[in-house]
Chains A and B, each alone.
Chain A
Amino acid sequence: MLTKQVVVLNHTGLHTRPAKEIVKTAGSFQSDILLQKDTKTANAKSFISVLSLGAPKGTEILVSAAGEDEERALQSIVALFENKFGEE
């Protein structure tokens, strides 16, 4: 399992559009991918889980990926956060 800490940088936080991006990207990997915020954990392949996380701008999230393609999976998800989900 690999992990990386990221910060929600985009103006609107993890709302519908970013949530969709995460779910789409996570779904293309075989690994289990989780997003952890404080004590709450969300399955990155589940739209309702990601939305229910409630992560506005500035939230710190721990991304973890476990599986055969965990390296690429982690990288891709982290990249989404770092690119502010294409918002700016």
Chain B
Amino acid sequence: MLMQGIAASPGIAIGRALLLPREERQLVRTPITKAAAPGEEERFETAIQQAKSQLKELMNRLEAEGSQQEAGIVEGQWFLLDDPQLKMDVQNKINDELVDAVWAVHEVFGDYAKALEAIEDEYIKERLADLRDAENRLLNVLTGVRNIDLSQLAEPVIILAHDLTPSMTAQMNRSMVLGFATEVGSRTSHTAIMARTFGIPAVVGVEELLAGHKAGKQLVLDGDRGIVLSQPDERQLQEYEQKRKEHAALAEQLNALREVRAVTIDGKHVDLYGNIGKQEEVHFVLEQGGEGIGLFRTEFLFMDRSEMPSEEEQYEAYRQAVLSAKGKPVIIRTLDIGGDKEIPYLPLEKEFNPFLGWRAIRYCLADPALFKIQLRALLRAAVDGDLRIMFPMISGVREIEQAKELLAEAEQELEAQGRAYKRGVPVGIMIEIPAAALISDKLAPLVDFFSIGTNDLIQYTVAADRMNEKVSYLYDAEHLAVLRLIDMVSRNAKAHGKLVGMCGEMAGDPNMAKLLIGLGIDEWSMSASQIPYVKQEILKLSEAECRDFVKQLLS
């Protein structure tokens, strides 16, 4: 039987299904006799201890992997279960109302949830999910429901689930997972992102997936076309086995390129770097042959959480990235966020036009205290490697001056505190606003490097939203206006002896390699998985020919 979903991560997986059933629990108020009360109390105590040790184990594993944020969430649940109030409330309920441990736990957690819901605080409300998660874990232990331990998979499987949460993917023994399919999700949901990061096929948004599959039965996962094929027949199996081999051969080919230098046939070297959202992704970039990180998007440290990341937390994240890069450059972009994203703890309002609004550097310069927390964390982390700071959405000279002033203040503050930090950290800016491109000659002397953010530069230049189907046809990286701007930025950078890189999607498109070499872009930063493809293209090109080609285009 064939099911159609959304292609979330490319590749073909053929294997047996492991079904992760949705948790559905029937809870009923179960009365007990007075004599049974002590027994229920003991049941509860034992369950608490077990649940706590499960959480402790998970926490240690996450910390060892460097997933600090996830470890913190799990620790929060541990604190919930360790709470003396919880113990007291549940015991009282068991004894006063003569109900069993399961019902007592359910009611008490329900009361806690109501208490949290009553608070007007957005961030506290986010804790409701953790409360539910902790309750579920405790009830699972009490009722003897065995959680499928994803870290103990004995044989390779294709995981089928309603949804995959961060704690599930964090636990997984990846070497045993051939692919994922989920009932919900989109190309940008957690499941999809994790699958692409692990480099395994995935299909999401498959309605009735679990109903249509039996555990242990063979299936084919086609991550290219978003297809889940249960119990394939001989012919289908053969076809897909062939496709899988082709994929594997391609992967081998690209693998072989890893150590090869990205140089044109006439000797021009291009720095191929990677874009990342989390410090843990650095090694994926290096694995693909990337020579540095051209863009570390720090927003992810600030998103999907109820409180701001502290200086310490940020410092740890940046430091991890720098250390993982083993001396290779890591360009970290300061907070680039706006009202279009849900950040409950920042006073970002819903704007009519968030992409032309109070975001990114504009927001940071308006909140120096917040900005300096990030800057201090960056300066401290710079001690451990080649960290470079990049400011987003710059539109003029004044913003650069103000940002550099705050950076200097941050240095002084660290000096006064006696904290170790690096002086002279290279500072660059994103060129994504046409105004900045047009005065790039004035901006070049003020910074150490440029990085062209083509995604936004193109949108702002042709005034079209690439996510708007009606006008996305206007979003064209090869539009003469865009090429002229990139050319201008490149020339101005070189006239002042500054490096010019690019971190938009254009950089990761092998078809653009000719243009980018001809335009003289020194450093191209892209998704890790794109690096081998782009390198393959560069190896075929001649710089001289590319230059001529661009000269023709621009004349």
A-B interaction: yes
Q: Please give the residue numbers on chain A whose beta carbons come within 8 Å of chain B beta carbons, in ascending order.
A: 11-13, 15-17, 19-20, 23, 43, 45-49, 51-52, 54, 56, 86-88
Chain B residues lying within 8 Å of A52, measured Cβ to Cβ, are 112, 115-116, 119, 124
Q: B85 near A49 (CB under 8 angstroms)? A: yes
Q: A54 near B124 (CB under 8 angstroms)? A: yes
How many angstroms between the C-alpha atoms of A54 and B116 in the bound complex? 8
Q: Does B80 contact A (CB under 8 A)?
A: yes
Q: Quick one: which of B302-332 are within 8 Å of A by CB?
A: 306-308, 310-312
Contacts A20-B75, A54-B120, A54-B121 known; A48 to B83 CB distance under 8 Å? Answer: yes
Q: Does B345 contact A (CB under 8 A)?
A: yes
Q: Quick one: which of B32-91 are within 8 Å of A by CB?
A: 72, 75-76, 79-80, 82-86
How many angstroms between the C-alpha atoms of A48 and B311 in the bound complex? 25
Q: Which of B84, B86, B112, B123 contacts A12 (CB 8 A)?
A: B123
Q: Does B373 contact A (CB under 8 A)?
A: yes
A29 CB to closest chain B CB (Å) equals 13
What 0/1 pattern do residues 105 to 129 of B give for CB contact below 8 A with A?
Answer: 0000000100110011101100100
A-B interface, 9 closest residue pairs, ranked by CB to CB distance from nearest: A54-B119, A46-B85, A12-B307, A15-B307, A47-B79, A52-B115, A87-B310, A47-B83, A16-B76
Chain A residues lying within 8 Å of B307, measured Cβ to Cβ, are 12-13, 15-17
Q: A88 near B80 (CB under 8 angstroms)? A: no
Chain A residues lying within 8 Å of B112, measured Cβ to Cβ, are 48, 52
Known pairs A15-B307, A20-B76, A47-B82. 15 more at Cβ < 8 A? A13-B121, A15-B123, A20-B75, A23-B79, A43-B84, A46-B83, A46-B86, A47-B83, A47-B85, A48-B83, A48-B86, A52-B124, A54-B119, A87-B311, A88-B311
Chain A residues lying within 8 Å of B84, measured Cβ to Cβ, are 43, 45-46
B149 CB to closest chain A CB (Å) equals 26
How many angstroms between the C-alpha atoms of A54 and B117 in the bound complex? 11
Chain A residues lying within 8 Å of B124, measured Cβ to Cβ, are 15, 51-52, 54
B125 CB to closest chain A CB (Å) equals 10
Among A16, A20, A54, max chain B CB count under 10 A is at: A16
Summarize B's interface: helix, strand, loop or mixed.
helix
Which B-chain residue is minimally distant from A45 (CB atoms)?
B84
Contacts A11-B308, A16-B127, A52-B112 known; A47 to B80 CB distance under 8 Å? Answer: yes
Q: Does B370 contact A (CB under 8 A)?
A: yes
A17 CB to closest chain B CB (Å) equals 7
Q: Which of A12, A20, A23, A48 contacts B308 (CB 8 A)?
A: A12
Among A20, A47, A48, A88, max chain B CB count under 10 A is at: A48
How many angstroms between the C-alpha atoms of A19 and B127 in the bound complex? 12
Q: A56 near B121 (CB under 8 angstroms)? A: yes
Ordered by A's residue number, 20 sampled pairs between the chains whose C-beta atoms are within 8 Å are A11-B370, A12-B307, A12-B345, A16-B72, A16-B307, A17-B310, A20-B79, A46-B83, A46-B85, A47-B76, A47-B79, A47-B82, A48-B85, A48-B86, A48-B112, A49-B85, A52-B112, A52-B115, A88-B311, A88-B369
How many angstroms between the C-alpha atoms of A23 and B86 in the bound complex? 14
A44 CB to closest chain B CB (Å) equals 11
Chain B residues lying within 8 Å of A88, measured Cβ to Cβ, are 310-311, 369, 373
A70 CB to closest chain B CB (Å) equals 18
Which B-chain residue is minimally distant from A54 (CB atoms)?
B119
A28 CB to closest chain B CB (Å) equals 14
Q: B116 near A51 (CB under 8 angstroms)? A: yes
Chain A residues lying within 8 Å of B123, measured Cβ to Cβ, are 12-13, 15
Chain A residues lying within 8 Å of B119, measured Cβ to Cβ, are 52, 54
Chain B residues lying within 8 Å of A20, measured Cβ to Cβ, are 75-76, 79
B479 CB to closest chain A CB (Å) equals 43
How many angstroms between the C-alpha atoms of A43 and B85 in the bound complex? 8
Which A-chain residue is minimally distant from B79 (CB atoms)?
A47
Chain B residues lying within 8 Å of A45, measured Cβ to Cβ, are 84
Chain B residues lying within 8 Å of A43, measured Cβ to Cβ, are 84-85
B321 CB to closest chain A CB (Å) equals 21
How many angstroms between the C-alpha atoms of A11 and B84 in the bound complex? 28
Chain A residues lying within 8 Å of B308, measured Cβ to Cβ, are 11-12, 87
How many angstroms between the C-alpha atoms of A87 and B310 in the bound complex? 5
What 0/1 pattern do residues 342 to 367 of B give for CB contact below 8 A with A?
Answer: 00010000000000000000000000
B410 CB to closest chain A CB (Å) equals 12
Chain B residues lying within 8 Å of A12, measured Cβ to Cβ, are 123, 307-308, 345
Chain A residues lying within 8 Å of B311, measured Cβ to Cβ, are 87-88
Chain B residues lying within 8 Å of A86, measured Cβ to Cβ, are 310, 312
How many angstroms between the C-alpha atoms of A15 and B76 in the bound complex? 10
Chain B residues lying within 8 Å of A48, measured Cβ to Cβ, are 80, 83, 85-86, 112, 115
A85 CB to closest chain B CB (Å) equals 8
B120 CB to closest chain A CB (Å) equals 7
How many angstroms between the C-alpha atoms of A12 and B309 in the bound complex? 9
Q: B310 near A51 (CB under 8 angstroms)? A: no
